[in-house]
Structure formats: C-alpha cells, structure tokens
Amino acid sequence: MKLTKLLSLILACILLSLSVISCSPSVTEAGIAIPSDMQAIAGEAGDYDLIVPSNWLVETTVGMTSAYVEDTARSSVTVTANELTAELTSIEAYWDMFAEEFAATFADFAMVDAEPSDVVVGSAYEDTTRHTEALKYRYTATVGGVKYQWMQVLCLRGATMYIITYTSTAESYESNLEDVNEILSHLYFR
C-alpha cells in the first residue's frame, strides 16, 4: 500500500513537472522568450528575430523574411533590410523614394494618413535598448483589380534601414491588425 502511494506520488510529480516544462515559453537563439502562441523566425543575416503568431505560415527567401495568413484577405508581414547609401540616409529619404516609385507604379496610389505616425518597434521588451523608434506609413492601391492597403514601418538601426510591410486587402485590413501590432511589438533586434 505504501509502495503504491509512493509510486503515485512520484508519477504525479513527474506529470506536474512535464506540464510545467511544456507550458514554459521557448526562446530564440538570442535567449528571448517567445510567447506560447507565437513562433520566431531568424532574419537572414541573423540580426533580428521576427516573432509571429503560431498560426501564421513562415517563409524566408533571399533578402526577405515573411509570414502570412492563409485567408481571403491575403494578409502578410515582410521584413527587409537595406544598408544606407549616400543618397538614402534617413527614414524620410527612404519613404520619399518609395512613394515616388509607388505613385509611378499604381495609378490609384493614395496615402491613408496625411503624415506618418510614430511607432516603437520591440516595445514588448522591458530592456528599452531593444526599442526602436520608427515611422509608420499607410497607403492603398489596386493590384489585379483588388484594392489593397499597406502599412510600412521604417526603422533605422545603425547603418541599416529595416522595412516592415503589412499587406492586406483594403476591406480586410483591420482583421489581422491586432496580430500585426503584436508582431511589431515583439520584433527583436540583436
């Protein structure tokens, strides 16, 4: 009888330990805790971790890290990184270049907001050295007969411009916006 109780107690302790371990957050290569409902993707150059909801699909290609939702909104978030050049030395200079290219490409290119808004990338982390001030630009255009809305967040770290782009159909833009804001708050620069 005592042996049965002892074995039951040991089994209960093992099961409790396993449940605690399985509920513990995983961590990135940089040692950053990943919330249990999210997954991390290391940037191609290893300079950032893009942390996205676990139900988003992940894709990495040369020069870009992306995650997307298989939905009718065609929602995706991409991160690209570009080194500064002699002509492009600020967020505003990058945006001016993009806006000019977009206006030349899309006949109905239109800004959603007259001015960019401030955003802090990495704001989920207590370590404020991980916070990066950025500017957010929102615009719309039609591609293949479908109206899309984009949010581009441009942030400068050292000599690198990071461009985080959220794309969705205009009518469904709000449907994944909460997830996108979480992605922005958890983007971790190493």
With a cut of 50, list the residues of the chain below it in pLDDT.
3, 5-24
Q: What SS3 class is residue 36?
A: coil
Flag whether 18 is in a domain: no
Model confidence over 42-62: pLDDT tens digits? 888 778 999 999 999 999 888
pTM of the entire structure?
0.83
For residue 116, give both structure tokens. 């960019």
Within a 10 A sphere around the Cβ of 52, how many other Cβ atoms? Answer: 25
The CATH number linked to 89 is 3.40.1000.10
Structural domain including 98 reads 26-189
pLDDT value of position 25: 56
pLDDT value of position 2: 55
pLDDT value of position 6: 40
What's the total number of domains in the chain?
1
Q: What SS3 class is residue 142?
A: strand
In the beta sheet, which residues pair with residue 133? 120
Flag whether 172 is in a domain: yes
pLDDT value of position 162: 96
For residue 102, give both structure tokens. 């977009």
Flag whether 92 is in a domain: yes
Do 148 and 108 contact (CB within 8 A), yes or no? no
For residue 123, give both structure tokens. 């704001």
> Residue 77 and residue 165: Cα distance in Å, rounded?
5
CA distances from 160 to 84, 126, 163, 166 (A): 6, 23, 10, 19
Q: What SS3 class is residue 190?
A: coil
